[in-house]
Chains A and B, each alone.
Chain A
Amino acid sequence: MQGWRKDESVQYGFFFDALKCTGCETCVDACCQQCGTTRSTACRTVTRYEGGVWEEAADGTCSTTLFTYYLSLSCHHCSAPPCVDACPSHAKFKNVGTGVVTADPSKCVGCGACASACPYGAPKHDPVRRCTYVCDACAGALGTHPEPACVSACPEHALAFDDIDKLRAAHGSLAAVPPLPAPDLTQPNLVLNMAPAMMSSFMRKAPASSAAVR
């Protein structure tokens, strides 16, 4: 079927809706099943970000500015992909039709250079098997998925994969929230939807104890 490949001359990208995501990692499981990876080598990962402080009043009661959110991320199929330049065996390339960044397995020597080059840590290097797993948006899958496996697995429908221009038109152009790097670095084809209240609470008060977990 391969529904997402219906248009062969656009840049594809992922949309992630943090308002819907509840951090269940069903997407990661689907990714593992599709690619035969384990959780540590899965191309998709879920990151939890939390911050805020507790304030204890004199009467012993507590209040808190705590917030937390999840980010489900894989390769952003960047428009300026550093992994392509970093690959010593010229295995990594950007598909001219779809803009999907992937690797030619016949050329990949599993050195992990792409994984080191990616500021998102998207390629997953397995030093034991000497191979690197990269997201190809399930381009090679022959199953029943009209979309990448992670997208059609999400019980909350928090992921989408489509023409990035369409996604930006529909959802805006937010592509970086903590703990992600600034988007001008690699120009990721990623669109995020975050709770406005949460964003403003984060912007207002950079919490001392905030940390990316996992």
Chain B
Amino acid sequence: MNTPIVQMSSVSKHFGSASVLDRLDWQVLPGQVIGLLGRNGAGKSTLLECLLGLRETDVGTVRIYGEDVRHLSDATRARIGYVPQKCDLFEWMTPRQMLDYFKALYPRWNAAKVDALLARWGFDPSMQDKAIGKLSGGEQQRLSIIRALGPDPDLLILDEPVSALDPVGRRDFLRELIDSVIENGTTVVFSTHILSDLERVALEIAFLKNGRIALQGQLDELLEGARRVDASGGTAERVRVAPTSLEELFIEVTQ
């Protein structure tokens, strides 16, 4: 049996009187590609930040590769890649300077992959010498993804990584994610609102509702199961519209 890479046990997090995570239990197994879904303000970003130790939990424990997230070893941190929701990327530096900065902080850095991604994703030499603050939102997000992929992470946490990308950028990113990351057995946790992208990438979906993982499973099984539940309804008048797409399932589960 696989040992979970990420293990969250009875995690609670409050902001003032508002409860964001409520005794949440969650596991991520090696090689899983999980799409994390939830309504705005459901706590997806907070969950991912708590998972990475960027926020303290009020109660509960979080372990990554068996280590308490508050005391992660250098080796474990070197295996994690993170794309935050907001691209805060040293806006006074140029893309090249920022990547060199992180290269200096990681023992393993795939410079060839970074260069190839820069070239493929439209970062020509002139753009690489431009201050990051002057790049567009989409360009900054692409750069943030390149930065996260630089150390060849084994666990990739993506917090709405494609929200600022145009359709072409999204397609390039998803292709990269499938070809170079998922195919290599990297574990991916991916939060997004663009369900069509999630359907292309994630095999497994987790819904966050009321501070807990309300539903998790293989995407196909969840959709099939939802149909079965509706088909077993009572009289014809009381039968609801059966959820047939991820969007409908999202609405059903999160409302």
Do A and B belong to a common assembly? no
